Structure 1
């Protein structure tokens, strides 16, 4: 379901993990993964992780007792995720699978829980993806995810359009209300959204300072001056978009009717 093309070249992985920790390509680390699934009993549950990235979330979910199947469409991510899996005490609970963009390659009603951390932003057709998630969930199963959403209103759309024009990633933005409506239209019930903008706006400002003051010289040696200068400018714009309430990391929760 995600768009084709490499979104995460190795130099980008290096930068993101420097900021967010090894195994993570989006903010919050293990604590944020646990918040996304807060209140769910994962012990012995079959869980699909859509967009395994460099493997950190899958390792956390396995530590909570889940039997994790992780999927991603970018081959260059697999060695990073496999290294994270091998370093985990719960490696035998994690299976990593490369898939093609398009429908999920699983039978109907295959999983108790479907999880995704900040990867669905790349999916152009949200309704098709949520329909696939509903299909492969078992009755009564839970979709628990976070996604980069856009604030409500024309000004938020304008700010994010400007940010997107400068970025490396192909972001396909929706608002929380649009996302909740699509989930309900696809057949989910008990749909909730939790806006994490206030948390992320503060974190994003601190991350820019960290890159500028602590990480810049080391990352220049890793990826080069031109890449770092461009990326630092993008991170400043991202932090400003979050400060203005236009960029809203959001937790999503929905249930497949029993």
Structure 2
């Protein structure tokens, strides 16, 4: 559900070909179930924000819920109603056409607010999260799978992806979602990336679009459009592999009444448990296969054809602190740091030159810090392998 109608018949037909009948976002029934895992939906009232073609709503109904799907696009809702009727679920699933803005429901109307692939297109997230809080019953849950972004400004690669998508995106960081949910009064907040699940899925989808599915898409939409979507997916893979495009989950609960919570011993124990777990040391496995190695090429290098690999071993809950292993082949390129980076060179040699012309060279066994605000060039003089720890101090404030 964006801030305006953008899904024409051709795009809807294409998305169903990729993601399955009734789905306008990835993952199908399995992802819907994962998003609400552990929540008892039997007899519960569920609101699906940005319900699209109704596929998720039929899954939620199958888990025992009565579902109201909300969307701003009349043709999409009409398709959803027909699909739900064909499945014999019209008594459990209904749809409501709305306008962007406040939710058209009374306070405390639902036990769960669910969404997938909608909030990434809603710019006024804080206002909409506030509306979700309002329409939830005390103790109700807000459970979402959606697309987020990494810290820092939007790159040219991301802008190109947005252009290819042809949709209005308003991605924010995991830290932004956590901060706003907390500010609005939600409790038991969990915000996490999907561990690379959709990145891997997108690679598979791209291979299909360029291969076995290409004739079917061409027959449906024409060869030019089929080629367009192959490039669209390639552009998405670039930002997924870089870690700039960060799909993930968030879940939060509207607290019970304060008086009820204050008299609950179990609630007090749960709070204490969460405090302790927040301070627990987190083991990071370095040996073995490790996290997926992401390979990229430096865009617009000053010299050479530098290639890099990244193995990100850890990202904190805010998305502002990351650490791992990075390599680079010989070459020189411009850098502009919005974050602080600690570097320990495991191999190689690098020359850093600031915008004022002053330069320093570091070799294997040396460590250094690049401060936020540094602008200049990075020149790999001998192939680099480094350990990095990056802190974006703006992440928790965004």
| TM superposition score category, shorter chain reference | over 0.9
2:181 is matched with 183
Distance in 2 (CA, whole Å) between partners of 1:197 and 1:82 is 34
- Paired position in structure 2 for 1:98: 97
Deviation at 1:153, TM superposition (A): 3.5
> Could you tell me how far apart the structure 1 residues matched to 2:149 and 2:9 are?
27
Instruction: Specify which of 243, 247, 251 is matched with residue 253 of structure 1.
Output: 251
- Mapping of residues 196-235 of structure 1, within 5 Å: 196-235=194-233
The structure in which a higher percent of residues are strand is 2
Aligned to 1:3: 3
C-alpha distance in structure 2 between counterparts of 1:81 and 1:41, whole Å: 25
Residue 168 (structure 1) aligns with: 166
CA distance in 2, matches of 1:157, 1:197: 22
Is 1:35 aligned to 2:51, yes or no?
no
The one-character-per-residue Cα deviations of 1:206-236 (angstroms, maximum 9, x if unpaired) are: 0011111111112112112222222221111
Matched-pair contact (CA < 8 Å) for 1:62–1:94: yes
Change (3 A) 1:37 1:157: farther
More helix by share: 1
2:317 aligned residue:
none
Q: Which residue of 2 aligns with 1:81?
A: 80
TM-fit CA distance, 1:157: 4.7
SS of 1:152's equivalent in the other structure is coil
User: C-alpha displacement at 1:158, in angstroms?
Assistant: 4.9
Divergent runs of 4+, >3 A: 156-159
CA distance in 1, matches of 2:222, 2:25: 22
TM-score by length of 2: 0.62
> 2 CA distance for matches of 1:17 and 1:236?
19
User: Cα distance 1:122–1:251, how it changes in 2: closer, same or farther (>3 A)?
Assistant: same
What whole-Å deviation, never above 9, does each CA across 1:45-81 have from its counterpart, x for those lacking one? 0000011111100000000000100010011102321
Structure 2 distance, partners of 1:250, 1:87, is 32
Look up the SS of the partner of 2:3 in the other structure.
coil
For each residue in 1:177-210, what CA deviation from the matched residue of structure 2 results, as whole angstroms up to 9, or x when unmatched? 1111011111111111121151111110000111
- Unmatched tracts of structure 2, length 5 or more: 257-398
Aligned pair 1:55/2:54, yes or no?
yes
State the match for 2:346 in structure 1: none
Q: Which moved more, 1:187-196 or 1:200-209?
A: 187-196
Helix, strand or coil: the match of 2:213?
Answer: helix
Report which structure shows greater RCO (CA 8 Å, sep ≥6).
1
What is the CA–CA distance in structure 2 between the aligned matches of 1:232 and 1:148, rounded to whole Å?
Answer: 20
Question: Displacement of 1:249 after TM fit?
Answer: 1.4
Count of matched residue pairs: 256
Corresponding residue of 2:114: 115
Classify the secondary structure of the residue corresponding to 1:214: coil
Contact 2:23 2:53 in 1 (8 A): yes
Tell me the TM-score normalized by structure 1. Answer: 0.94
- Compare CA radii of gyration and give the structure with the larger one: 2
Q: Is the 1:149–1:249 Cα contact (8 Å) retained in structure 2?
A: yes
How many Å apart are 1:136 and its aligned residue? 0.4
